[in-house]
Amino acid sequence: MDLGLKEARVLVTGGASNIGRGIVHGFAAEGSRIVIADIDEDQAERVKTEALARGAAAVEVVAGDLTREGEAQRAVDAAVSSWGGLDALVNNAGWSTPGFVAKNRDRDNWQRTVEINFYTAIAATQAALDPMREQGSGSLVFVASEAAFGQIRQGVYGATKAAVVAFARTTAREHGRHGIRSNIVCPGLVVPEGPEAVGANSLWSVGKDNVFTDDQAQYLLKDTPMGSLTTAEDVANAVLWLSSARAARQVTGQLFSVSGGYTMP
């Protein structure tokens, strides 16, 4: 099926690394026009080159910290000023440091977790709603997590993702009348496919084993019906389908786990 995303105007937050990079690659293959908004300019520029090689109609990098006032607006403005509007926003930027809340009492760490996972999605959504309401159309996809349903060592991170779910669904209810759809994708564990897939600011930059050991992955796979880990491309395919006004016209406020069935929300 033709998703109708050729020339679509798309903004991917955190588009420079791992899952976000896979989402940018996916839109690129559809011939979309893409803004990559990421704090890591060097990695974003590398992904821009990859996206153009994969067929993107245009790519712009807006480098900045999306937790800062005005940065999300700047990213949306880049799409609107270059291409006259915004068809799809993917709220993907995120960060986590696994840890037991009873042990890690570092308030700054948890504050930053909330700011990156939740506030960036609020700010980018607020900025995107204006042009989408004006157009009378638009898609928002929020990249949440299985941790939103409760996972060991993911207390605060999971809570931010649960907040994202509630925010996305409220947005779906409030803005459906303006032709705007809002959905959620919860990826299973996505280990970066190689060093080229992650940037310096990636949560994976501390080394894969410091995020998730092979033993932990094997344990997780025992409870995964499909028996395999999720890839960035798997997540991207779901995001693209949801972003397509043609394919997912009547789909809003919905949550999809792309995890091989690890959770069935």
Footprint on this chain of ligand NAD (rule: CB under 6 A) = 14, 16-20, 38-40, 65-67, 92-96, 116, 120, 143, 145, 187, 189-190, 198-199, 201-204
Which C-beta is closer to ligand NAD: that of 162 or that of 245?
A: 162
Which C-beta is closer to ligand NAD: that of 123 or that of 248?
A: 123
Which residue has the CB atom at the shortest distance from ligand NAD? Answer: 94
Which C-beta is closer to ligand NAD: that of 2 or that of 69?
A: 69
Q: How far is the CB of 84 from ligand NAD (least distance, A)?
A: 24
Which C-beta is closer to ligand NAD: that of 5 or that of 19?
A: 19
Q: How far is the CB of 233 from ligand NAD (least distance, A)?
A: 12
DSSP-based helix, strand, coil % in the chain, nearest 5: 50, 15, 35
Instruction: Give the count of beta carbons closer than 10 Å to the beta carbon of residue 203.
Output: 19
Q: How far is the CB of 98 from ligand NAD (least distance, A)?
A: 11
The Cα 117–Cα 191 span in angstroms is 19
Which C-beta is closer to ligand NAD: that of 145 or that of 243?
A: 145
Our CA angle for 76, 77, 81, nearest 5°, is 130
Specify the DSSP class assigned to residue 250. Answer: T
Query: Cα 141 from chain centroid?
Result: 7
Alpha helices in the chain, H assignment, sequence order: 18-29, 41-53, 71-83, 107-114, 120-135, 155-175, 208-211, 214-222, 232-243
Q: How far is the CB of 178 from ligand NAD (least distance, A)?
A: 26
Q: How far is the CB of 134 from ligand NAD (least distance, A)?
A: 25
